[in-house]
Amino acid sequence: MKIKYLALICITLCSCSVTTTSGGKHVEKGPKEIFEEQKNNTSDAFDTLAEAKKNDPTPAPNPEDSYKKASDDANIVYVLKSNWERTHFFIDSMEMGIARELKVKINNQEHTVVAKPDNCISKEENIRPPYDHHAPLRFTFLIGECKEIKFVATKKIITSQHKATVRNRRPH
């Protein structure tokens, strides 16, 4: 595939030449010279990048290092999910964070996980090893389990019924 692209570039470059003026001097470059110049520039850029990586003593950061730990010896990444935004997740009574999906680290012991979205009831699950990082712990909350949503839904129904009643009234 690379050879086809290089051949296409060479054919395109072979059909033209570039004329430049440098310091009042007329210089004409053919496709071969242009290609060599670009190749050298690219090679120099890759060499500089490789040298910079070699001299950089800091390794690339591991995203798992930023996950909150449920205990000091926690080293297993575990995913907690909820169907509601702003869900507070707790592991063994310690708040781990607020999110719809949260990655945390746990140890190889049994844990109690609690999920509580804003204005909803909380749900609790007991988990124990072996843990599978491909299978997250999911919490599903229904509308009836959340106070604010229940109130808003009731208010909309009452408002709709009121508007219908007002429309159906006709002056006698």
Instruction: In whole angstroms, give the CA distance from residue 137 to residue 125.
Output: 9
Q: Residue 59: what residue type?
A: P
Following CA atoms 145, 148, 150, 153 in sequence, which dihedral angle do they give, to the nearest 10 degrees?
A: -150
Rounded to an integer, the average pLDDT of 48-61 is: 72
Name the token pair of 63.
């995203």
- Taking the domains of the chain in order of start, what are their residue ranges? 2-55, 63-141
**Tens digit of pLDDT for each residue in 16-37?**
555 555 566 666 777 777 777 7
Bridge partners (DSSP) listed for residue 98: 88
Check whether 124 has a pLDDT greater than 80. Answer: yes
Reported CATH class of domain 63-141? mainly beta
Check whether 125 has a pLDDT greater than 70. Answer: yes
Query: Is the distance from CB of 88 to CB of 120 less than 8 angstroms?
Result: no
**Tens digit of pLDDT for each residue in 94-107?**
999 999 999 999 99
Q: N- to C-terminal Cα distance for the chain?
A: 85
Going by pLDDT thresholds of 50, 70 and 90, the confidence category of residue 109 is very high
Going 155 to 158 to 161 to 167, the CA torsion angle's sign is negative
Bridge partners (DSSP) listed for residue 97: 89
Q: Residue 130: what residue type?
A: P
Instruction: In whole angstroms, give the CA distance from residue 54 to residue 127.
Output: 44
DSSP conformation class of 23: T
Closest CA to 142 of 162, 165, 117: 117
DSSP conformation class of 63: G
Query: Is the distance from CB of 14 to CB of 3 less than 8 angstroms?
Result: no
Bridge partners (DSSP) listed for residue 127: 111
